[in-house]
Amino acid sequence: MSADDKKRVSHGYSLVEVLLVIMIIGILAGGMMLAAGRGTDNTDAAAALADLEGIKSAMLAYSMAHRTRTSDGLAAFVGADPSDIMSSLDVYLTKEGDSAYLNYLEVRRDSANSLWVEFDGFPAGSSLRSALDKKIESSSHFTGSGGSGGGYTISLKVK
């Protein structure tokens, strides 16, 4: 081995090689973050639908406990403040009311005298809207649409 060959032997990586590896890791991490974001939207959509279903079940339990017909016994909830509704149903709910959508809770009666519980007009980005639309499409119980003020509305018929 000549003296020139000994000088060319490298014991480390060049700056270009290190930067290239860092760039590749950054690209892969960015892709993972995008995939994780989509999973979060699906989870948020499922949680909103489950919360609404839980409130419906609590309303039916309230109606049975107070020995009222659903349409009459729950009429007091129509147009009521969300905090008043939740405090009345608190005994019948299986978990704390920690949904991000409780401020948008409404109970309404339609023209056919059916009672509906819904999260009305809550803010939802396009990816959450898409996740909600897919979940609602696969369910026969829920309806969903763009709500008041550009928000999203999920509705569930109580009775």
pLDDT tens per residue, the chain (159 residues)? 555 555 666 678 889 999 999 999 999 998 888 776 666 777 888 888 888 888 888 888 888 887 766 556 677 788 888 888 888 887 777 765 556 778 888 888 887 778 888 888 888 877 788 888 888 887 777 888 875 556 888 888 887
Kindly report the pTM of this predicted structure. 0.67
Tokens encoding 26: 């950054």
Is position 25 within any domain? no
- According to DSSP, residue 12 is labeled S
User: Which residues span the domain enclosing 108?
Assistant: 41-157
Is position 6 within any domain? no
Tell me the C-alpha distance between 109 and 93, whole Å.
22
Phi-psi region of 12 (alpha: psi -120 to 50; beta: other; left: phi over 0): beta
109's CB contacts (< 8 A; 6+ apart) are 75, 78, 115, 116
- According to DSSP, residue 138 is labeled T
Is position 69 within any domain? yes
Is position 78 within any domain? yes
Number of domains in the chain: 1
Is position 22 within any domain? no
Tell me the C-alpha distance between 28 and 42, whole Å.
22
